[in-house]
Chains A and B, each alone.
Chain A
Amino acid sequence: MALNTAQLSWTANTESDLQGYIVYGSLVNATNNIFTSSSIIVTNSYTFTLSSIFPDGQWYFSVRAIDNSNNVSNQSASVSKRMIRSTGKITVTK
């Protein structure tokens, strides 16, 4: 997987009235988010690509489930990945 891409997946919820999931990402920790998925996603996977507006670093991710009545679950345990926007040649300085 490319260093500028995080491919997330999780176990699907079983509620009959599930609307979908909200994905959170952060450079600090999973509960202090600087980014969420732009809309509620309906499948239990999501791909996040580090664009120019986000800095390189150790990214933490988590998800919440949301139902049709807009009730939201607790935040899942987080996972993390070191993400680098530039994949160019490494410059070594003496």
Chain B
Amino acid sequence: MAIYFTSASGNDANSGTILSPFRTLAKGTSVLAAGDTLNVRGGTYLEDLQQRIPAGISTSSPTVVQAYSLGGVYEPAVVQPTSGRCVLITGRSFITLRGLVLNGINGTTLGSDNAVKFEISSAGVHSDHFTIEDCEVKNINATALLGETANYAIIRNNYIHTIGSTSGGTPYGHGIYTGGPTFNTGWIIEDNTFDTINLYGTQLYPQNTNSIIRRNVYHATQGSAINSGGIMLANSGHICENNIVYGARTAGNSAIQVSFQGPANTTVRNNTCYGIGSGNGIYVDVGATGIVVQNNIAINFSTNLNNQAGSGATLTSNLTTGSASTIFTNAAGGDFTLKLGSPAIDTGVTLVAVTVDIIGTARPQGTRYDIGAYERLVGVDVTAPATPTGLQVI
């Protein structure tokens, strides 16, 4: 597989090596064959990547466009088109974007100027096995990462923020949206940070199935009062675990919402939801079946755990009472680790499939599983008690 380089100080007449890099993304991607890699050196590129990246070969040999990194640190390679989307992939599979800054500050078309859209082609060719990792995605006036009839996407360790707009009276902007027009399956969304998102942080809707959402932090989602929230789990077969959802921007729907498209067989476990005194913490819709809600913290909402599905949902060991000051280290400061003596410690049920917490701490610590996204390390308290005073002897 060939490796090429593009640099802000390069020249498109060059050969594309690290010592003789191209200047533009257009040139750099034009030479890529399936499975090749384009390393993008630090700089701001005022151009897009719409249908410029060829399909890869397999999951182990994708076509890669990535910020150049040395010693594990990415150079700040900013993809900032003068208009429109940053990236469009239509009918091409096995593509990886890594370490880039996708800045949609110049995208003015509300609702369509995504950071990345990967979609099925008009001829029915999918854009499957698409990976976006280690990227910063920002200033998008539409859904940031939009996949339509795309299977097996991996969205990992990205910082997705400042997404969406209410201009024109219609709210826009999910962090991640899995659209149709037909069924798609098997997404993994993990270790991302979402901040200041106008609608849902992540919306698995309407036809997405069997996806995993884990170890993400959602802050200041649901900026619009309608049709918005932290995580939407429509359809069936999802696992949602070890996420933190807190600090909604307005009184929207729910931090975690299991609803639409006949929700079934979805598991919501070991999440921490902290509200602003309104909306739902965890909501299970009417008619849902086979839903399992276990070991979650949901407090400070109008309704902390709102189960409309009756026996369609199994609710076990969820903490939905108590104050933040008795449960968390510093909720106001966004620190949802469990304080010593928290009622969430060692009060969960054993979930053998959940082997770690949001930061990789093995579960369980102590005698039982903790409730919420964090497992409290035993012995982590290193603060000595005060020195005793007033000693007397008779």
Interface of A with B (CB < 8 Å)? Answer: 1, 6-11, 13-18, 21, 44, 61-81
CB distance from B375 to the nearest CB of A (A): 16
> In which size bucket is the chain B interface?
10 to 19
Q: With A8-B393, A81-B393 known to touch, is A13 a contact of B381 (CB < 8 Å)?
A: no
Question: Can you name the residue of chain A whose Cβ is closest to the Cβ of B385?
Answer: A65
Cβ–Cβ contact B387 & A75, under 8 A:
yes
CB distance from A69 to the nearest CB of B (A): 4
Report which residue of B340, B380, B384 has the largest number of chain A beta carbons within 10 angstroms of its beta carbon: B384
Question: Can you name the residue of chain A whose Cβ is closest to the Cβ of B384?
Answer: A71
User: What are the interface flags for B369-394 relative to A under an 8 Å C-beta threshold, 1 for contact and 0 otherwise?
Assistant: 00000000001111111111111111
Cβ–Cβ contact B391 & A63, under 8 A:
yes
User: What are 21 A-B contacts defined by CB distance under 8 Å?
Assistant: A9-B391, A9-B392, A10-B389, A11-B388, A16-B340, A17-B340, A62-B391, A63-B391, A65-B384, A65-B385, A65-B386, A66-B385, A68-B340, A72-B384, A73-B384, A73-B387, A73-B388, A74-B384, A75-B387, A77-B391, A79-B391
Which residues in window 339-394 of B have CB below 8 A to A?
Answer: 340-341, 379-394
Cβ–Cβ contact A21 & B393, under 8 A:
no
Q: Which residues of A contact B386 (CB under 8 A)?
A: 13-15, 65, 73
Interface of B with A (CB < 8 Å)? Answer: 340-341, 379-394
Question: Can you name the residue of chain B whose Cβ is closest to the Cβ of A70?
Answer: B379
**How many Å lie between the Cα of A7 and that of B391 in the bound state?**
10
CB distance from B329 to the nearest CB of A (A): 14
Q: With A8-B393, A80-B393 known to touch, is A71 a contact of B383 (CB < 8 Å)?
A: yes
CB distance from B131 to the nearest CB of A (A): 42
Q: With A68-B340, A73-B386 known to touch, is A17 a contact of B391 (CB < 8 Å)?
A: no
Q: Which residues of B contact A10 (CB under 8 A)?
A: 388-392
Cross-chain pair count, CB within 8 angstroms: 86
**How many Å lie between the Cα of A13 and that of B390 in the bound state?**
11
Q: Which residues of A contact B380 (CB under 8 A)?
A: 69
Question: Can you name the residue of chain B whose Cβ is closest to the Cβ of A79?
Answer: B393
Q: With A16-B340, A17-B340, A17-B341 known to touch, is A73 a contact of B385 (CB < 8 Å)?
A: yes
Question: Can you name the residue of chain A whose Cβ is closest to the Cβ of B389?
Answer: A11
**How many Å lie between the Cα of A1 and that of B384 in the bound state?**
34
12 new A-B pairs (CB below 8 Å) besides A68-B340, A71-B381?
A: A1-B394, A9-B392, A10-B391, A17-B340, A64-B387, A69-B380, A73-B385, A73-B387, A73-B388, A74-B387, A77-B391, A81-B393
Q: With A7-B393, A69-B381 known to touch, is A21 a contact of B340 (CB < 8 Å)?
A: no
| Of the residues B381, B388, B389, B391, contact of A67 by C-beta under 8 Å | B381
Cβ–Cβ contact B392 & A8, under 8 A:
yes
**How many Å lie between the Cα of A13 and that of B385 in the bound state?**
8
Q: With A17-B341, A76-B387 known to touch, is A61 a contact of B393 (CB < 8 Å)?
A: yes
| Of the residues A16, A76, A80, contact of B388 by C-beta under 8 Å | A76
**How many Å lie between the Cα of A92 and that of B379 in the bound state?**
59
Question: Can you name the residue of chain A whose Cβ is closest to the Cβ of B390?
Answer: A11
Cβ–Cβ contact A64 & B388, under 8 A:
yes
Q: Which residues of B contact A9 (CB under 8 A)?
A: 390-392
CB distance from B325 to the nearest CB of A (A): 12
Q: With A16-B340, A17-B340 known to touch, is A76 a contact of B394 (CB < 8 Å)?
A: no
A-B complex: 8 closest residue pairs judged by Cβ atoms? A11-B390, A65-B385, A69-B381, A10-B391, A74-B387, A71-B384, A76-B388, A79-B393
**How many Å lie between the Cα of A82 and that of B255 in the bound state?**
67
Q: Which residues of A contact B388 (CB under 8 A)?
A: 10-11, 13, 21, 44, 63-65, 73, 76
CB distance from A24 to the nearest CB of B (A): 11
**How many Å lie between the Cα of A47 and that of B379 in the bound state?**
31
Cβ–Cβ contact B387 & A69, under 8 A:
no
**How many Å lie between the Cα of A72 and that of B81 in the bound state?**
60
Q: Which residues of B contact A69 (CB under 8 A)?
A: 340, 379-382
| Of the residues A6, A13, A72, A75, contact of B393 by C-beta under 8 Å | A6
**How many Å lie between the Cα of A41 and that of B291 in the bound state?**
48
Q: Which residues of B contact A18 (CB under 8 A)?
A: 385
Q: Which residues of B contact A8 (CB under 8 A)?
A: 391-393
Q: Which residues of A contact B390 (CB under 8 A)?
A: 9-11
CB distance from A18 to the nearest CB of B (A): 6
Question: Can you name the residue of chain B whose Cβ is closest to the Cβ of A15?
Answer: B385
